Amino acid sequence: MPTSVLVIDDSEMVRDQIIQTLRKCTLFDQYREAGDGIEGFKALITEPADLVLCDLEMPRMDGFKFLALMQSQKGLKDIPVIMLTGREDTELKIRGLEQGACDYVTKPFDAGELVARVKVQLKIKALQDALKRSNELLTELSNTDPLTGLSNRRYFAETLEREFPRSVRKNESFSLAMGDIDYFKKINDTYGHQEGDMVLTTVATFIRNLIRRYDVAARYGGEEFAVILPDTDAAQAIQFAERLRKGVEALTFSGRLQPLTVTISIGVATFPSPQIDSIDKLVRSADEALYRAKKNGRNRVESREHC
């Protein structure tokens, strides 16, 4: 992805001088410029930059107001800003640093100093970006079941804690489907645990492709799966569960598993319901419906609404 710098200064001569200095060191792929804070902020909203050099004193919007606007935008607040000023005023510099600036360069600037300060900020940003990516990866790994790639039980519980109150607050339907692969122990005993894992990952992939982007599918336990269905009433949840049941039954396998047909039993529960007023009761109701599906012959959907 191309790197870019945005130079904001009301002096075209200063902007050109800064850009020419940076070009000589080939620090960026794109060099953009703006004549004041308003123009600069609009440019960042349209396309964020990797670094901003911004004059402190400008017409219409000065550097302090520009910093405040950047700090108010989640997507812009992490962009490093080096302030440019012709005044040797310590209080102004402290104020700028407190409002989000990363560094200061005094005009008229020394070319070597400017380049050095820009390089430092780019290095810091690269380290911060790498750390951010690592943290995001760690978060994703901590929320994911390593075998199936679905959410794990902990993230499932966190999502319920977040989504159930939202549904209560907005008075929206909220459903939970819990499925269990039928006779999974027999699959492991007949084909081995590696092939059993292949069955789990194949079913999990099908579930992941079936759900909507705002649904959450999780591996709830061994061969048991759970799907959180926000903004879904009882009839819609049963329709989803039937699509899931039929889809799993239609799955095909290769190798030693080629003759295998896998089925799944599913229990569904929906809020609001006279018997469901909490997360625990929602989960318990879906689990009880799943138990009835198993008891009534497997490869079927049972719902709390049909009790």
Q: Which residues are catalytic?
A: 223
Residues contacting residue 244 through CB under 8 Å, at least 6 positions apart? 177, 179, 206, 207, 210, 227, 264, 266
Q: What is the distance between the alpha carbons of residues 143 and 159, in angstroms, rounded to a whole number? A: 11
E strand intervals along 61-128? 81-85, 103-106
At residue 300's C-alpha, the angle toward residues 294 and 306, to 5°, is 90
Q: Among residues 81, 80, 41, 75, which one has the least CA distance to residue 61?
A: 41
User: E strands along the chain, which residues?
Assistant: 4-8, 30-34, 51-55, 81-85, 103-106, 174-181, 216-221, 224-230, 264-271, 301-303
Q: Hey, what amino acid is at 227?
A: V
Q: Are 56 and 30 in contact (CB under 8 A)?
A: no
How would you label 214-243 residue by residue, b for 16+ Cβ within 10 Å and e otherwise?
A: ebbbbbbeebbbbbbbbbbbbeebbebbee
Cβ neighbours for 170, distance < 8 A, ≥ 6 positions apart: none
CA distance 239 to 5: 52
Distance CA 290, CA 253 (A): 25
Which tokens sit at 173? Answer: 């339907």
Q: Residue 260 corresponds to which tokens in the numbers above? A: 């295998």
